[in-house]
Amino acid sequence: MTIFREKSIILAPLSGYTDIPFRNSARRHGCRYAFTEMIDAGAVVYNIQKTGRFFERSKNEEWLGTQLIGADIEFLAKATKILSSLNFDILDFNLGCPVRKVLKKGEGAALGKNPDRAAAALATIVENSKVPVTAKIRILHDSDPEPSISLARKLQDAGAKAITVHGRTLKNLYTGPVIYDIISEIRSALDIPVIANGGIKNLESYETAIGESGCSSVMIATGAMGNPWIFDEMKNGKGFSPPTLSELADEIEQHVAEIIAHYGSVHGFRIARKITLDYLSGRGFGGELKKKASAISSMGDLKEISDSVRKGTSPRYWKWLESNENAPRRLRSS
């Protein structure tokens, strides 16, 4: 069974981010495979009101996956049945989340450290799912591939149709080197597709990921925050043309407008603040503009910010780009 096409660039499930407006932005720049935000099994079962928005899928989304997290077998079974009644193409099981509140419940990366329990949980999901089930894990050791291979094999045997591997251990969270050699060892040991994840921010890091892991597909997480052009960059390679200041401002305006249309003004502008800051980050914009973005509360505020973006960024940024031509999140002057 083919879950992802060869050389796929997949948008990861990002808590607090990968809603419809975020996915729309990514899809405008070539993203085909995208996920909803991660969904807690207990929240699905108890029908907590705020989780309803996780299930939404726009009419123009050709492909959409969702991701479940949990450790309680009963909740996982019930939540899977509920999700199977909805419109998703695959169901992914999170065994890599390092957030403390998740670990305290024995979920995410905590469950991933117990391969037998993790496999039993995934088998329950497979048994109750009407769509293919995949898994997302972290490597379990910095230098020894065997523990990670053992986990991945157990998940494959439990019914996983593909596995995404984040190449850092739990203790390293999202920092430090990504151990693509271990991802490569896992890929060689399995009969199902393995997707490389971790540290992919630009074309250079993408080429490193596929070159060292041997995987044909990757999953991008934080590299897509404020930078939907990363999908264009991966697709076009050396022919990629970074956005101009005007194109950056246009994308900010469209993304925020969709957020407000989707959530309404009160909740929407709270979300728009972090989204706008992500677009400004790493592109040479000063603290004063970022301060305004962190307090955005009206479309008038948004226009002030986008007008400032069109006027230009720091002259030092352009100078810095001259010696950092492979930097992530690049702009072009015209």
User: What are the structure tokens assigned to 242, written together?
Assistant: 């970074």
Of 85, 103, 15, 20, the residue nearest 47 (C-alpha): 85
Nearest to 272, CA basis, from 263, 285, 281: 263
97 flagged as catalytic:
yes
Task: Write the CA distances from 72 to 13, 45, 124, 152, integer angstroms.
Answer: 21, 11, 10, 20
Cβ atoms < 10 Å from Cβ of 222: 16
CA dist 224 and 29 (Å) reads 11
- Structure tokens that stand for 131 in this block: 């769509």
Catalytic residue among 9, 10, 76, 97: 97
How buried is 31 (Cβ within 10 angstroms: 0-12 exposed, 13-18 middle, 19+ buried)?
buried
- 97 near 138, Cβ under 8 Å? no
Q: Which residues are catalytic?
A: 97
